[in-house]
Structure formats: C-alpha cells, structure tokens
C-alpha cells in the first residue's frame, strides 16, 4: 500500500521539484512538460471529453483540461494533493483511495473517453499494472484511449541502461514501464518516446 503521508509532505513542493528535474533534463522528470503536453493535446481532440485521472496529484494536467470544458474524475490517495487539486477544479469528481488496491466504487460505475495516468502507475508491480489496465480498458467508451505518461522505455535493455546511468539517484521502489513487455498482454499498445527516461504509452479501444 502507498504511504499517503509522504506524499502529503511533498505536495506543496511537488510541482517545483518536478520542474527543476525537467528543466535540467535529469532523471526522473526529464521530458515531463512534453509528456503532459502530448496527453493534453490528445484529450483536447474531443471537446467536452470525460476524463478519469489516476493519481492526479495537484491537478497540473487535469486542471488545464477542466478549464477547457472536460468533465474530470479522479482518484488519489493523498488528502493534501486532493485538497490542492480541488481548489483548481471545484466541479471535478475527486475521490480518495489507493489505486494499487483498486478504483473507488463510484468511478467504476461510468465510462470515460480518456483515462490518463501521469507518473503514478510506477507504484504498481508489473503484474498489478496488467490487471489494472484490463479494468481500465473496460471503462473506456468506444474509441476511448488510455494515456500513460511516465518514466518508461521501449525495452528492458533501455530501462537497465538508464538505471546504470542514474546510479544512486535511481528509485528502486518504483517499477517503470517497458513497452515491449506490456504488448504481450496488450498487442495494440503504442509508445512515444519523449526523453531518455520518459514517454507516453497509448492503448486505444
């Protein structure tokens, strides 16, 4: 189970810390803004889309979508993150819960045009990711898409190379994506590389 207390303490400085890593092009957030930009532009192709954000944090991405008329639903396990996001999106439907243990009940009762997850699903094991993605896939509307922006690689070899280069900075508690391995269960999955340690995985219905 995730530790929400740690993320509560980090919440107020989260966006700043991410920005520094992105600007300096360092692991783990090199390419962060472009990752979010790709997802934002994809969702905006459908005006008024319904969007489920898994681990929305402070609402950096979904607040922009909310401002442009998207119906926002989300789940996060940090009360402080939810508080900060709710200020930006007073009309959003935000639920507290540890997504490694499953989706909050109300979120399972509807369908979505897009399901997004940015820098959140790496808290799951590879087996949990597959099971969870199957659940999420079943919640997509026709022509809907799952969009995952994260520390991610096309192959395990690329992941291992990044781990070696990161050295002691590498977070061993986080389990990152290797797209070619996910395709064993989701053959239609695509991967767009953004930086040496990040990209966007897309699964369309």
- The pLDDT tens digits along the chain (205 residues) read 444 443 343 344 445 666 666 678 899 989 999 999 999 999 999 999 999 999 999 899 999 999 999 999 999 999 998 999 999 999 999 999 999 999 999 999 999 999 999 999 999 999 999 999 999 999 999 999 999 999 999 999 999 999 999 999 999 999 999 999 999 999 999 999 999 999 999 999 9
Separation of alpha carbons 177 and 192, rounded Å: 12
With vertex at residue 125, the alpha carbon angle to CA 167 and CA 137, rounded to the nearest 5 degrees, is: 125
Axis crossing angle, helix 79-88 with helix 4-23, rounded to the nearest 10: 60
User: How does strand 112-118 pair with strand 190-195?
Assistant: unpaired
pLDDT score at 21: 65
Check: CB of residue 87 under 8 Å from CB of residue 136: no
Split into its structural domains, the chain has a count of 1
Check: CB of residue 107 under 8 Å from CB of residue 52: yes
pLDDT score at 1: 42
Instruction: Please give the residue range of the domain that contains residue 82.
Output: 4-204
Q: Where are the alpha helices (DSSP H) in the chain?
A: 4-23, 32-43, 62-67, 79-88, 126-137, 156-166, 179-182
pLDDT score at 68: 96
Axis crossing angle, helix 4-23 with helix 32-43, rounded to the nearest 10: 100
Check: CB of residue 52 under 8 Å from CB of residue 73: yes
Q: What are the residues facing 140 on neighbouring strands?
A: 112
Separation of alpha carbons 102 and 41, rounded Å: 28
Check: CB of residue 38 under 8 Å from CB of residue 152: no
Q: Provide φ and ψ at 47, rounded to 5°.
A: -60, 135
* Best CA proximity match to 140, nearest among 186, 76, 196, 195: 186
Alpha-carbon Rg for the chain in angstroms: 16
The CATH number given to whatever domain includes residue 129 is: 3.40.50.150
């Amino acid at each position: 189970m995730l530790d929400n207390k740690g993320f509560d303490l980090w919440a107020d400085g989260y966006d700043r810390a991410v920005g520094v890593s992105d600007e300096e092009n360092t692991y783990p957030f090199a390419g962060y803004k472009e990752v979010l930009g790709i997802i934002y532009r994809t969702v905006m192709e459908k005006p008024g889309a319904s969007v489920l954000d898994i681990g929305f944090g402070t609402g950096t991405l979904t607040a922009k979508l909310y401002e442009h008329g998207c119906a926002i639903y989300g789940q996060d396990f940090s009360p402080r993150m939810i508080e900060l996001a709710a200020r930006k999106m007073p009309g959003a439907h935000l639920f507290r819960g540890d997504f490694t243990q499953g989706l909050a009940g109300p979120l399972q009762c509807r369908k979505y045009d897009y399901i997004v997850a940015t820098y959140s699903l790496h808290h799951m094991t590879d087996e949990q990711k597959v099971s969870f993605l199957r659940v999420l896939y079943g919640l997509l509307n026709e022509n809907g898409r799952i969009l995952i922006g994260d520390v991610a690689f096309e192959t395990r070899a690329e992941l291992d190379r990044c781990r070696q280069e990161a050295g002691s900075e590498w977070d061993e508690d986080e389990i990152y994506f290797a797209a070619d391995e996910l395709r064993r269960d989701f053959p239609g999955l695509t991967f767009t590389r953004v930086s040496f340690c990040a990209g966007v995985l897309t699964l369309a219905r």
